[in-house]
Structure 1
């Protein structure tokens, strides 16, 4: 793919992901259409970014279990391939799912990961979305000061973005968080900013935001304005006018009418809310409506009816909590089953990429892993060093002492190499075949690699080989090559290391040869 083509793909992907904050129906259709264009087969991070967008939208429109399992699968792939932006988006969706079912701890854990993995070079909209996710999770967990700070960071990132809806959602969620924290002056300030922004851009405010505004007005003693806000919203039917948002508004409107002493209107509204909740299975809002019904009965001084309604509310609350726990359990079970399936697949893959004699990685693994590291290097990643290792006079060991002794030597050398790289982040020891081994050492300079290889040489030469055969002495020759200094492709890098290894053998064996030698 040419640079121009890649830029076109990146621009199109940015447009598709941006639609999430403009029109989710457009965002869903755009992602699904592109996936259809790509067709079956491996399309790397691109197809998975699109799949995450689809899952993010669909989980809010139905059962989140499948979406959670799919996104978890994509997350594991992204972790294995170093795709940080994709990892961040996966954590964002998982955080939202656990927020949806009331698991605040897991929601916060994923929200933190969302932000930690996001690079500063990412588009401001995506960075703002990540901050918003974290702010919501912190607010739900009761960390109001930290939540407020993240909301303000998110707002600054998109302050000049009039096209998307994210500024409205940030201000709405900030206002609601301040409301929950009983910081009513700050909540009022946030809703006034939201209203001003709407007027400035001639953009209607959605149902959920109207509900937030009304609740804040109600606590500020502006009940008439709260009622007017909700009545206007119910008549205007904004973009998020659907059963859940309508039920939320009706509960608040009934409470507002009750506060105003309009009990007949409050009863009419609460009856409408209960009918809507029953029709669409809105358990949460049915529970909230029952609580408000108890308050209305009490205001009417029908205390027996108030007691019965409150008792019903208590029973519904217990059932709602159990339902949320069950939903959490179903999601976790789906994710666990996905993880188990993935682990089983990974186990067979691991077996296919291991040398059965030494239990080191094999040539198949080396080819894929080294190619991935070099791809990352071309995109600005860390340098890579490799060391080709050959057992000196190994044929003599096999011919004079037996192949069983030779196998024991290879197994022991595998253990020595494994120990040598154990404390080196990202290092890999592999057996290429026969008596040839390889070390892959990412993100280390030539001097460090040279010192490590010299230690490996000394460890092998100084090892007590007598338990295998009395008087046995084993040494190795090593050739070191660096990318990008010596080569930029997998085959040429291996060739450079191989040449230097043969130079080590030619010059007397039991030595390390590298560019500076």
Structure 2
């Protein structure tokens, strides 16, 4: 059923087109896909197209507008329950928060993006998000963590046969090592970047060439750095961002170190013109700093001093403009935070059974795998108890569905009372009880072995049997059958639930109102019962 719904929401042709546009960031194509997806009722694809448009606006520097778009898309994505879309939303919002000066926020968002990745996510999608996570870790000072994620991203792209993406990973790794004050590691990554491009017979992008030269500059290889920068193919087009002026400023710096002051000045002048044409204030400030160094190299210390003052004045002005932009964007960010609060509330509601207030099957599916993994890692037991009310249909048939609902609510309260919460916190990391559907419930007991689980569940069985049900259903009895499985990990959730269900059915077949575990049953009449191997 879920696959059918997904097919209706994501027409194959539109999915293929939006995946291509997410790579190219073609604004006109994104707008066209948005319209077609809206007409087709493919909301997830429509939102992905809108997210591409938000990404484009962000890259243009329209950060407040981009943040507002992402906020709106985030709320709809949560309501839609589309995890791949949510991963993309967190990725873009992380970049927005970084551009607002919130480095920790970038890391938070990218970690959320990773958490939203499904097991069947494509290698390219996984590589993209892992690369962003590595970048965020690097700027937050965790170069070790960044290296691990860059390596994982590289493996993902390798599996997908995406050589260009691998070049991006190596470029970012080299630059991150440079920022971390690791010039030798930066150079090693830069060499690997250059060698991979040669092996794949693909030209290096100007950004890659600038990174390689910067790594060579970091270890004092000025001649090699100049040669690298001058190797740029004339057929390559610079984009309309800051790539050209950044390249020229780095080239001027290298030439200054080599004593080629006249050539350095010519390249710096061209960089200044590009900065003025494109209104690149930050890159222009860096060019001014290099110009001051160039004056000093010529022995013109007065000019260097005057320009250094100009540099600081422009830097202060730039910071002022950035603060203004950040202030304008903070409202959008605040609205995004409010949307998150609403989304968290929505998610909490989506993870609870509306009748009993217990956790639901979706919560079990989201939470239990991690608990199984914890059991495998720590060696602590994990007991899963499946229970079903015996002959519950008689209550609905002989009395009413309202009476049946009241019984379910009462049983839910008894089950909830049997759960032990550390410090009273119901955060999904400790014991919990869930309603799976109908009259079937699940009790999860981490850290509880089979023997202790049997004792607790037998007490719960007696509590349900001995409860005063007469105000609700008169003389009709209410009992429950239980199946327990205890594990120490290394099992899939499907196998765990299936085995617990098998034990539950063994309890039903052997008279109901009893508890069956892997080898022992405790019931109202029998103390020992071997589970059939059906």
- In the superposition, the TM-score normalised over structure 2's length comes to 0.64
- Name the structure 1 match of 2:86: 87
Distance 2:98 2:323 in 1: 12
Q: Deviation at 1:283?
A: 0.8
Cα pair 1:417 1:456 within 8 Å, conserved: no
Q: Deviation at 1:252?
A: 0.4
- Name the structure 2 match of 1:49: 48
Cα pair 1:21 1:164 within 8 Å, conserved: no
- Name the structure 2 match of 1:205: 204
Query: Relative to structure 1, is the Cα distance of residues 457 and 442 closer, same or farther in structure 2, using a 3 angstrom cutoff?
Result: closer
Cα pair 2:37 2:43 within 8 Å, conserved: no
Query: Relative to structure 1, is the Cα distance of residues 457 and 270 closer, same or farther in structure 2, using a 3 angstrom cutoff?
Result: farther
Q: Deviation at 1:14?
A: 6.1
- Name the structure 1 match of 2:297: 299
Cα pair 2:461 2:479 within 8 Å, conserved: no
- Name the structure 2 match of 1:134: 133
Query: Relative to structure 1, is the Cα distance of residues 428 and 282 closer, same or farther in structure 2, using a 3 angstrom cutoff?
Result: same
Distance 1:76 1:294 in 2: 49
- Name the structure 2 match of 1:23: 24
Query: Relative to structure 1, is the Cα distance of residues 49 and 428 closer, same or farther in structure 2, using a 3 angstrom cutoff?
Result: farther
Q: Greater shift after overlay, 220-229 or 249-258? A: 220-229
Confirm or deny that 1:122 pairs with 2:103. Answer: no
Cα pair 1:115 1:131 within 8 Å, conserved: yes
Distance 2:79 2:420 in 1: 19
- Name the structure 2 match of 1:320: 318
**Residues 25-424 of structure 1 mapped to structure 2, 5 A cutoff:** 25=26, 28-39=27-38, 43-80=42-79, 82-163=81-162, 165-233=164-232, 235-238=234-237, 240-340=238-338
Q: Deviation at 1:416?
A: 11
Q: Deviation at 1:77?
A: 4.0
- In the superposition, the TM-score normalised over structure 1's length comes to 0.66
Q: Deviation at 1:295?
A: 0.2
Query: Relative to structure 1, is the Cα distance of residues 2 and 157 closer, same or farther in structure 2, using a 3 angstrom cutoff?
Result: closer
Post-superposition Cα deviations, 1:94-133, rounded to whole Å, max 9, x if no partner, equal: 1122233432111111122222332343211111112111
Q: Deviation at 1:327?
A: 3.0
Distance 1:216 1:374 in 2: 49
Distance 1:148 1:361 in 2: 43
Q: Deviation at 1:7?
A: 5.9
Aligned length: 450
Distance 2:419 2:73 in 1: 29
Cα pair 2:79 2:343 within 8 Å, conserved: no
**Secondary structure at the counterpart of residue 158 of structure 2:** coil
Cα pair 2:97 2:105 within 8 Å, conserved: yes
Provide the aligned C-alpha RMSD in A.
5.5
Q: Greater shift after overlay, 159-168 or 208-217? A: 159-168
Q: Deviation at 1:41?
A: 9.1
Cα pair 2:68 2:336 within 8 Å, conserved: yes
Q: Deviation at 1:287?
A: 0.5
**Secondary structure at the counterpart of residue 165 of structure 1:** helix
- Name the structure 2 match of 1:400: none
